[in-house]
Structure 1
Amino acid sequence: MRRAPVAYSAIAIVIATGAVACGGSDSGDSGGSGSTAAKKTVTVTLTSKGCSPDTANIESGPVTFKIVNKDAGAVTEAELMSGDTILGEKENITPGLSGTFSLNVRPGKYQLYCPGGSGPEKVDFTVTQASGATATRSAAVTTALATANTGYATYVRQQVSELVTNTAAFVTAVKSGDLDQAAKLYGPPRLNYERIEPVAESFGDLDPAIDARIDDAPDEAHWSGFHRLEKAIFADRSLAGTGPIADQLGTDVGKLNTLVAKATFQPAQIANGATELLNEVGKSKITGEEERYAKLDLLDIQGNVDGADKAFTLLEPALKTLDPKLATTVRTRFTAMYKALEPYKKGDGYVSYDTVTQDQRRGLSQAVDALAEPLSQVAGTVVA
């Protein structure tokens, strides 16, 4: 789960707004038409007040947002939003760092959102209809990217469907008061959720309701979701009074299932989401913060890596044509990442994370960083 005042996602979910081009037959589509405008770059400087883009008006088509932070300690992320939906974001850009995300944007009114500053958190951003010639991609690449769009939507729906089933079994165990069974059934839905985490984060307050840690809640009385039940099972060793929390978790997961049924994606968003999954590993999984009571952080890491790997695998056929060297590098790094996890496997799962030494955690972190760097270049390559 991302840690911010509002929980959205680097994978933009396009339900009704049509704000971001997705695979299909519209003339502005990224996957179906084979035509793209020349790629543009918008530089967004993070300041103590909030966002300062070098332009607030661009033409539609592929664009890369470069987020730069020179000395803004309180403002460390930038998001492009359409209404309440985030279309792309870059988090954890602390002073001295920069980062990018890429999208294919359609004409419309948007906002850049940079929370935490002393000034307005949102800046209006306008996209007008592009004019002039367009560049054409090969039919094979266009088809491959369209296939990735639909393939990723199918994968997300499959994972959330399994999440519903596994959560229902977990909820039943919690409500029965069976601590051992609840502990046994806690892991499977966590794996499903971690695989599609950025998608879940796109739906406003739904992700905090499902996946918030105690740090993210005002107090324990207003804390819900998996981690609230994790604490009851693995730390408190008591399920007294957790029935309503379990019921609400089941309801919230059901809402997620309904929402993803309508979701569509574009190639750059899929790639952005893969990068965010790796960022999640580095931010909260490697440190042991995520599953602090159950010690299942290695399972969460696998879930994030699995989700990123699936996203990349779907984009890989097109990337092999667009940038074969990058495709080979990323695939090699994924292989190394899975190899780094291998020593910690135990039965159908992993060893308890509190048995993993700091040196071993650093080794895992190095494998994550080695993968995340080339993976972050994929979105800018496939944006169309």
Structure 2
Amino acid sequence: MSRTLRVLLALSASPVVLLAACGGSAEPVGGGGGGGGGGAEGTVRVSITDDGCTAEPTSVPAGAATFDVVNDGATTVTEAELVNAGGRIVGERENLTPGLSASFSLRLEAGEYTLQCPNAATETSPFTVTGAAAAGTEDPLFAAATQGYQDYVKAQVADLVTATDALAAAVQAGDVERAKALYGPARVPWERVETVAESFGDLDPRVDARLADVADPATWTGFHRIEQALFEQGTTAGAAPVAQQLVADVAELNTLVQSTTYQPADLANGSSGLLDEVASSKVTGEEEAYSHLDLLDFAANVEGAREAFDLLTPALQVTDPELVTTITRRFDDVTTALAPYRQGESYVSYTTLSQDQVRDLASAVDALAEPLSQVSGKVVGAAGR
């Protein structure tokens, strides 16, 4: 059975909750695509437990590496992150419930890294990359892809700055209805490049944390704090400082992306990561708990994922044209599945969807996620030659 549909559909009052869905090529432990120790050179098995994350081996040579991440029964920990010395997350897998696994591939430079598993008893452990990667000739197709993605991210974050400034101005003016109208448009550019924002440590939780994600509600900031005020409480009272902080955080993101560069695997992992976001929180109705604009976020995640994939397509056509055809068709299927819910520049409220409609959307996402998860491995191998 496929990944998303393997996870239980649990009914709730408004109106359905799809419980969890995890990253990339997730499979049950013992199934295809999962970890297993002592793999090929450059393969690292990462085991998630409530005590912490362990890597086997704890060191690899510089160059191509694949991390097979397995949840070995952890109930409080569902993700593993590889963080470089500068504090940027260079690879991760999220939303791994007990018994599931997923992988990510990338090319690593020599240096000291940290394996992080938030909420574990021991959250960090060291990981080392030794030596130096063999010099290779940069493929012009991959070079064009990474440059194109850098330009795309900068453009989306510039749009985010403009949209967030407008939202904050409406909040500070006390104009609830205008702020409601501007909330959705501000979410779109964020969701298109969400996985890039997530790579910058605590910036993502400051901007995008939900109430359930914070230990102390008094410290809750970002979009969803404003969303609650506008759509549940019907007021901007107390939201002006939150809006000011959101503007500052988005400006910080804009500064960071100006100098951020990408490797081809970043595009592949990011594309898969955006599909994970759809499966874990958008198609479940958990993301926009007060505005119920989950389908707008869903569509933006898919758009960002497709942009990254489309930029890689010319290079992938050389190595695996059949995979390109499959993924392209399944992206089209997801877009087609979303189309009936389009309403002007936005989408219908998530609360209007039936259980069957949610299942259909989940099926389309799952069918895309499976082949898309293969891209990072293809890209790392081809880009390194």
What is the TM-score normalised by the length of structure 1? Answer: 0.85
Partner of 1:370: 367
Q: Could you say if the C-alpha distance between residues 317 and 39 of structure 1 is closer, same or farther in structure 2, counting changes exceeding 3 Å?
A: farther
Partner of 1:176: 173
Q: What percent identity do the matched residue pairs reach?
A: 52
Partner of 2:129: 127
Partner of 2:377: 380
Q: Could you say if the C-alpha distance between residues 216 and 52 of structure 1 is closer, same or farther in structure 2, counting changes exceeding 3 Å?
A: closer
Q: Distance in 2 between matches of 1:167 and 1:77?
A: 29
Partner of 1:45: 47
| Cα deviation code 1:99-124 (max 9, x no counterpart) | 10001011111122234444x33222
Is structure 2 residue 96 aligned with structure 1 residue 99? Answer: no
How many pairs were matched up? 342
What is the TM-score normalised by the length of structure 2? Answer: 0.84
Partner of 2:82: 80
Is structure 2 residue 293 aligned with structure 1 residue 296? Answer: yes
Q: Distance in 2 between matches of 1:72 and 1:185?
A: 40
Instruction: Identify which range, 334-343 or 241-250, moves more after superposition.
Output: 241-250
Deviation (angstroms), 1:130: 5.0
Deviation (angstroms), 1:73: 3.2
Is structure 2 residue 114 aligned with structure 1 residue 111? Answer: yes
Q: 1:89 aligns to what SS in structure 2?
A: strand
Is structure 2 residue 202 aligned with structure 1 residue 205? Answer: yes
| Cα deviation code 1:254-312 (max 9, x no counterpart) | 11111111111111111111111110111111111111111111100011001000000
| Cα deviation code 1:7-53 (max 9, x no counterpart) | xxx9xxxxxxxxxxxxxxxxxxxxxxxxxxx9721122234432232
Decide whether the 8 Å contact of 1:39 with 1:64 is kept in 2. no
Over 4 Å off, 4+ runs? none
Q: 1:87 aligns to what SS in structure 2?
A: strand
Is structure 2 residue 162 aligned with structure 1 residue 165? Answer: yes
Q: Which sections of structure 2, spanning at least 5 residues, go unmatched?
A: 1-22, 24-39
Deviation (angstroms), 1:229: 1.1
Q: Could you say if the C-alpha distance between residues 212 and 71 of structure 1 is closer, same or farther in structure 2, counting changes exceeding 3 Å?
A: closer
Q: Could you say if the C-alpha distance between residues 40 and 274 of structure 1 is closer, same or farther in structure 2, counting changes exceeding 3 Å?
A: same
Q: How does 1:199-278 map to 2 (within 5 A)?
A: 199-278=196-275
Q: Could you say if the C-alpha distance between residues 177 and 210 of structure 1 is closer, same or farther in structure 2, counting changes exceeding 3 Å?
A: same
Deviation (angstroms), 1:203: 1.6
| Cα deviation code 1:193-223 (max 9, x no counterpart) | 0001011112222211111111122343221
Q: Could you say if the C-alpha distance between residues 55 and 352 of structure 1 is closer, same or farther in structure 2, counting changes exceeding 3 Å?
A: same
Instruction: Identify which range, 348-357 or 43-52, moves more after superposition.
Output: 43-52
Q: Distance in 2 between matches of 1:179 and 1:117?
A: 40
How well do the aligned residues superpose, as a CA RMSD in angstroms? Answer: 1.9
Please tell me the residue identity of whatever aligns with 2:338. L
Decide whether the 8 Å contact of 1:39 with 1:61 is kept in 2. no
Q: Distance in 2 between matches of 1:183 and 1:289?
A: 19
Q: Which sections of structure 1, spanning at least 5 residues, go unmatched?
A: 1-9, 11-37
